[in-house]
Amino acid sequence: MRTFFIRQGLVALFAATVSLASASFAYADTLRIGYQKYGTLVLLKARGTLEKKLAEQGVQVQWTEFPGGPQLLEGLNVGSIDFGVTGETPPVFAQAAGADLQYVAYEPPAPKSEAILVPKASAIQSLADLKGKKIALNKGSNVHYLLVQALAKAGIAYNEITPVYLPPADARAAFERGSVDAWVIWDPYQAAAEQQLQVRTLQDGTGLVDNHQFYLAARPYAKDHPKVIETVVEQVREVGQWASGNPQQVTDQVAPLLGLPAPITLTSVKRQGFGAGFITPEVTQAQQKIADAFYALKLIPKPLTIKDVIWTPPANVAAAQ
């Protein structure tokens, strides 16, 4: 009898070991994705199609939310995520700081989805009135370049304003208290402020910035897992193409996930750019202009070459786009 139980125990142990080994084989890799409270990745996460596609490649997906692009790319830099999406400025600051990243894809321009806001009763009526004022923004975020371009348009030197670097939630609190004179912010925080606070849009990105959204990957991950990267971009493109023609359905799906009222979410969705594509020479050059502008202002410590950090998809995939 004792021999029987020993044998049964060994059989159970062997079965458990095989089961664990099979699970390990089924998910040999994990793609860790960083996302923010906006954009196509939120919708992709909600739909669950990426998980199904990558499961076929033995890859599982882990999602982590970040309050802004700079924080997300810091996560990429320290190795806590492999892939993420940010506005156009965070990758410039991250590259300047030595992050081993690559641009993978981009979304079409969305200049209206970021803006400089002022209180409705503010005496600030034009960009020229920003001289000498305190302006809240998330340092190194997409709106940082909007502010740089807006000041240049008004003939104001960057050192003639007082930037107050705060993440969105803290910036909103400072703006509501009157601790700052203006707030430079992106959707959906922008739409929330427009609909919940007494604000006025002094200037959005129209005519000043493209406000591309960029998908970025850690270079080692992109090098070792090109098929995974291709699949992610394909899925982002597919959901984006659907979303561009169905803003109300997108809103119904993601508003509860964002914890935002439907009208705020719908406004953000309508201003968003959809339709991810691999990086083109024109987009690379536009990004180079941003890097050059920040270096000229000594906001980054060295000149950058953007083309050095562009991921190149396999020829057959690139040709199909």
Q: Would the pLDDT of 181 be above 70?
A: yes
Q: Would the pLDDT of 208 be above 90?
A: yes
State whether 132 and 98 are in the same domain. no
Residue 167 in any domain: the answer is yes
State whether 77 and 216 are in the same domain. yes
Dist. CA 43–CA 254, nearest whole Å:
6
- What is the 8-class DSSP label of residue 93? H
Residue 1 in any domain: the answer is no
Give me the pLDDT at residue 17, please.
Answer: 35
State whether 50 and 124 are in the same domain. no
Closest alpha carbon to 140 in 70, 224, 211, 218 = 70
Give me the pLDDT at residue 22, please.
Answer: 34
Q: What are the distances in angstroms from CA 294 to CA 86, 134, 154, 215?
A: 17, 20, 17, 21
Residue 295 in any domain: the answer is yes
pLDDT digits (tens, 9 = 90+) for 58-104: 999 999 999 888 899 999 999 999 999 999 999 999 999 999 999 99
State whether 79 and 30 are in the same domain. yes
pLDDT digits (tens, 9 = 90+) for 17-66: 333 333 333 445 999 999 988 789 988 998 899 999 999 999 999 999 99
Give me the pLDDT at residue 10, please.
Answer: 33
Rounded to 5 degrees, what are φ and ψ at 157? -70, 150
Written as six digits, the tokens of 225 are 């897992």
pLDDT > 90 fraction of the chain, expressed in percent and rounded: 82
State whether 65 and 199 are in the same domain. no
What does the mean pLDDT of the chain come to? 89
- Which of 204, 230, 256 finishes a domain? 204
State whether 91 and 13 are in the same domain. yes
Give me the pLDDT at residue 126, please.
Answer: 97
pLDDT higher for 168 or 2?
A: 168
State whether 196 and 79 are in the same domain. no
State whether 219 and 316 are in the same domain. yes
State whether 159 and 242 are in the same domain. no
pLDDT digits (tens, 9 = 90+) for 101-125: 999 999 999 999 999 999 999 999 9
pLDDT digits (tens, 9 = 90+) for 273-291: 999 999 999 999 999 999 9
Q: Which residue has the tokens 């083109």?
A: 280
Give me the pLDDT at residue 314, please.
Answer: 80
What residues make up the domain containing 121?
A: 111-204
Residue 49 in any domain: the answer is yes
- Which of 204, 233, 262 finishes a domain? 204
Residue 124 in any domain: the answer is yes
How many domains are contained in the chain? Answer: 2
Q: Locate all alpha helices (DSSP H) within the chain, ordered by sequence.
A: 2-26, 40-47, 49-55, 69-78, 90-96, 142-154, 168-177, 189-196, 219-224, 226-244, 247-258, 262-271, 281-296, 315-320
State whether 77 and 125 are in the same domain. no
- Which of 160, 186, 204 finishes a domain? 204
CATH code, 252: 3.40.190.10
Give me the pLDDT at residue 212, please.
Answer: 94
State whether 236 and 88 are in the same domain. yes
Residue 4 in any domain: the answer is no
The residue type found at 280 is: T
Q: Would the pLDDT of 2 be above 50?
A: no
Residue 222 in any domain: the answer is yes
Q: What are the distances in angstroms from CA 273 to CA 113, 170, 213, 216, 237?
A: 9, 26, 8, 17, 11
Residue 3 in any domain: the answer is no
State whether 20 and 89 are in the same domain. yes
Give me the pLDDT at residue 38, please.
Answer: 76
